[in-house]
Structure 1
Amino acid sequence: MTLSVTPTSQPNTSPSFSKPNFNPTFSHPTTPTLPFNKSQLAWDRLKSNSVECNSPPLGHKWTQYQGINHWEGLLDPLDDNLRAEILRYGHFVESAYRAFDFDTNSLTYATCRFTETSLLPQTGMRKSGYRVTKNLQATCGVQLPSWISSVSQLPRVQSSWIGYVAVCEDEKEIKRLGRRDVVIALRGTATCLEWLENLRVTLTKLPDHMGCGSEECMVENGFLSLYVSKTGACPSLQDMVRQEVARVIQSYGHEPLSISITGHSLGAALAILSAYDITTTFKNSPMVSVVSFGGPRVGNDKFRAQLEKSGTRILRIVNSDDVITKVPGLVVPVDDVACNAGVHVAGLQTWFRKVVEDMQLVYADVGQELRVSSRESPYLKKGDVATCHDLKTYLHLVNGFVSSSCPYMSKTMQYPAEASL
């Protein structure tokens, strides 16, 4: 789910400096010109530092950085090793965006522009130590109304490439990480039908084959549709994820292993559904963690309880100025007291909650949260909704975040990725 404008076939990563104050033009829905000053050199350094297997070794502490203790003591202030891991996973998502064919006039629109073997090298991740083992597709369960089809020339692609699975195969990187890591990287919204799915915001019951066993465990209708829908020619995203995870466990289950699912926007929502599905489907599942960027809400409080019960670890990176993280639905406190101008009104919240629940719109936030803010960075354009949701903005803010009392470093304190520019 990305806020964007006209797509092009190639991501534009060259900023414009026509004015002293940087004011980028967004020409691509998910990988626009970089949204901060002096950005290209800073971005190249930031990416180089976080994907070239030169981060500090995690060793036996790797489970802490994967959230075994829900990242307790690592978020505020932000631990430098965790920062490096968050940035590293963010670049896997960026590769998914770079590999996607956004050109609506292309015969290969909505597919991956590269082969599995060349995907990471072609998208700037040559030295990551990982190899793509599976391409992933998502299928929309809705169709455009006939009246829209008659007046619009937009391509109506039902199934589209949405990401990939990559396995760490570099022995040096495996040693640094303390285990073999498997990444599932998922992009955000890119097609017209995916946008329609995003708008199906009412909650719906999880299907029985996803193991919830409760009528009250519910998730967003459109996200679930994208995860479980299939066609005769294309299996569901759920089937592809399950198949590849089963293969990975069969191949590497005898050694320390982790599954790290990362996504941005719509991809963040699908990452949470994938993680829940893996942990409830495979009794011998390795540790499953989610690192999400700018993700919307996914389900209600009963779904959150099931996530916690399954052992899924979720770290949500949230920009306070990003509206996508505040939708869909409402989060209504469970307590039975509302406060209005200092006067407590018993029962008001219960009444309001019931009304919203009847509309299937009461959601719950899940996992642990790392909250950043565009307003705290002197490099970002203020008040730009698209910039606030952009993946590069998220990585820029994580790179500069220190703590809740120091949400962004001063220029003299910045990491090498952005210092001395």
Structure 2
Amino acid sequence: MSIGGQFYYLQVHEKYNQGLHIPKPLHLSPPRDHEIPADSPKQDIHERWQEIHGSNHWQGLLNPLHPWLQREIIKYGELAQATYDAFDFDCFSHYCGSCRYSPSRLFQKLGLTRCGYKVTKYLYAMSHVDLPHLLNRSLTGNKWSRDSNWMGYVAVSDDNESQRIGRRDVIVAWRGTVTPLEWVENIQERLESIEQHDVDVKVEHGFLSIFRSKSEATRYNKSSACEQAMREIERVVSFHRERGEGVSLTITGHSLGGALALLNAYEAAISQLDIPIAVFSFAAPRVGNTAFRDRLKHLGAKTLRVVIKQDVVPKMPGIVFNEGMKKFEEITGSLQWMYTHLGEELSLDVSSSPFLKHAWNPIGFHSLETYLHLVDGYSSQNEPFSHAAKRDIALVNKACNMVVDELRIPPCWHQLANKGLVQNSYGRWVHPERDVEDIPCPLGSNLSYT
């Protein structure tokens, strides 16, 4: 950002904190690189990692938001954002529905080399439910798969990150929909028992289908997304336990990915891994009924939900019949057919940031980058947007139009050059073939730890 841009940025803070009108700048020079770091510093949290990971349900850490927890929330959010940034959703691509990069190059290609994690497994999902918008499909026929979609990955913290956070952290990151809010139109709004032996514990039918569907006729989903994730989690946990290391499991996801994260946490908790399990979800919808909430709490999995009050997705399904009806249980009895949220909530407000447009913008309200911007500037419910916010404001406009026009950041700027087309040796514009390493291949999706 130019000097003029930095001045306006600081001026906005000052005027906003004083409750004064924010003037438009007379002139802003074109953005350029500057020396202000875009990341907040990572603190050594090894002595308090259990609290940061939710051992005490984040009591005393949310309001005000402890800076160590704030940094970890952003870290897990950025790892979830990677599932969008690397997803090939070009409906004209032969590889539509896959990840653009191999596991070994994912973080390098996305500029996340300092994240402190190494990808060990890619996860693929399908669905036996007719949910066309939940699982993106190619218009031209998929060269790599007609049935499956890349839905996320398993990764493990490297030695330096493990030392900083006090344990070997295994994460699972789940992707949401590539077109926010479209899944709302297709949501089944039908609860289904998650276990045969306990029919009262129920979750949303469409989410469960994506998580558990499989078919021998497919290449990537002979096993379900659930089975893929759990096999890899168990393998990694066993590997590090044999080396005498403490291990935790952290599951993250945005929107649909937040729903899958909760289902993943349930499966991990009933598998008796005997490790701390925490979910950091963003914009997650309700997933199950009160029995599911109580069961997951009894199993010991901790959940922190980050929500924006203007975002409609966390209000779905069960806009009317939800946890707010609990006060009527004395009259109605136990409402096992009712959707409910679970865990702790960090509530954010778009109007708290002076850098965001406040007009109705459902896509912008739901964007994960908007969430991360608001977390970065959040101090407490009673304090204004923080001067200490570090994340680049331009990131908010990657896939939407939320940043005030005065900062001159173009909307939806994150895209491939020439929409992915390149000029071949004959001068024709074509979709390029991928590097061999980046072509989806389940046989090469496991990486060695050695």
- Range class of TM-score, shorter chain: 0.7 to 0.9
Q: Check the 8 A contact 2:49/2:166 in 1, yes or no.
A: yes
For residue 284 of structure 1, report the CA deviation from its aligned partner. 3.1
1:373-396 alpha-carbon deviations (Å, 9 max, x no partner) = 112211112211111000000000
The superposition leaves residues 96-138 of structure 1 with CA deviations (integer Å, 9 ceiling, x where unpaired) of 1111101111010000111110011111111222110000011
CA 1:416–1:207 in 2, change beyond 3 Å: closer, same or farther?
A: closer
Residue 43 of structure 1 deviates from its aligned partner by 12
Instruction: Give distance in 2, aligned partners of 1:166 and 1:61.
Output: 22
CA deviation vs aligned residue, 1:298-353 (integer Å, no higher than 9, x gap): 0011000001011001000010000001010131422338xxxxxxxx94xx39x9
2:420 paired residue number: none
Contact 2:156 2:170 in 1 (8 A): yes
Shift of 1:191: 7.9
The 1-side partners of 2:296 and 2:172 are apart by 18
* Structure 2 counterpart of 1:175: 163
- Paired residue for 1:403, among 365, 374, 380? 380
Alignment counterpart, residue 316 of structure 2, candidates 324, 327, 343: 327
**1:45 deviation in Å?**
6.6
Matches within 5 A, 1:33-48: 48=38
Distance 1:320 1:59 in 2: 32
Aligned partner of 2:278 in structure 1 is: 289
User: Which residue of structure 2 lines up, in the alignment, with residue 120 of structure 1?
Assistant: 107
User: What is residue 147 of structure 2 aligned with on the other side?
Assistant: 158
Which residue does the alignment assign to 1:317? 306
CA distance in 2: counterparts of 1:40 and 1:364, whole angstroms: 45
Q: Measured at CA, do residues 402 and 155 of structure 1 come closer, stay the same or move farther in structure 2, by a change above 3 Å? A: farther
- 153-162 or 304-313: which moved more? 153-162
| Cross-structure match for 1:387 | 364
Match of 2:210 in 1: 226
Measured after TM superposition, the shift of residue 155 of structure 1 is 6.5
SS at match of 1:272: helix
Please give the residue correspondences for 1:245-264 in structure 2 after superposition, counting only pairs within 5 Å: 245-253=233-241, 254-264=244-254
Corresponding residue pairs, total: 351
Q: Describe how 1:127-146 pairs up with structure 2 within 5 A.
A: 127-143=114-130
Relative to structure 1, the CA distance from residue 324 to residue 244 in structure 2 (aligned partners, 3 Å threshold; closer, same or farther) is: same
Identity of aligned residues (%): 37
Mapped contact 1:104–1:155 kept (Cα < 8 A)? no
Q: Which one of 237, 251, 274 corresponds to residue 225 of structure 2?
A: 237
Aligned residue number for residue 215 of structure 1:
199
Tell whether the 8 Å contact from 2:174 to 2:254 is kept in structure 1 after alignment: yes
Which of structures 1 and 2 has the bigger CA Rg? Answer: 2
Deviations 1:356-381 (A, max 9, x none): x6xx4x11110000000112211112
**In 1, distance between residues paired with 2:184 and 2:309?**
25
Question: Gaps spanning 5+ residues in structure 2: where?
Answer: 9-24, 133-137, 394-406, 408-450
Residue type at the aligned position of 1:322:
D
TM (norm. structure 2) is: 0.72
Of 389, 392, 396, 1:415 maps to: 389
SS at match of 1:260: strand
TM-superposition CA deviations, 1:153-212 (whole Å, max 9, x none):
58695320011011112x2221111111111111111389x948951111111133xxxx
Indicate how the Cα distance of structure 1 residues 92 and 418 shifts in structure 2: closer, same or farther if over 3 A, else same. closer
In 2, are the aligned partners of 1:197 and 1:222 still within 8 Å (CA)?
no
CA RMSD of aligned residues (A): 3.2
In the alignment, residue 328 of structure 2 is paired with which amino acid? D
Structure number with greater CO (CA < 8 Å, separation at least 6) is: 1
Question: 1:370 is matched with which residue?
Answer: 346
Q: 3-state DSSP class of the match of 1:405? A: coil
- 1:179–1:255 Cα contact (<8 Å) kept: yes
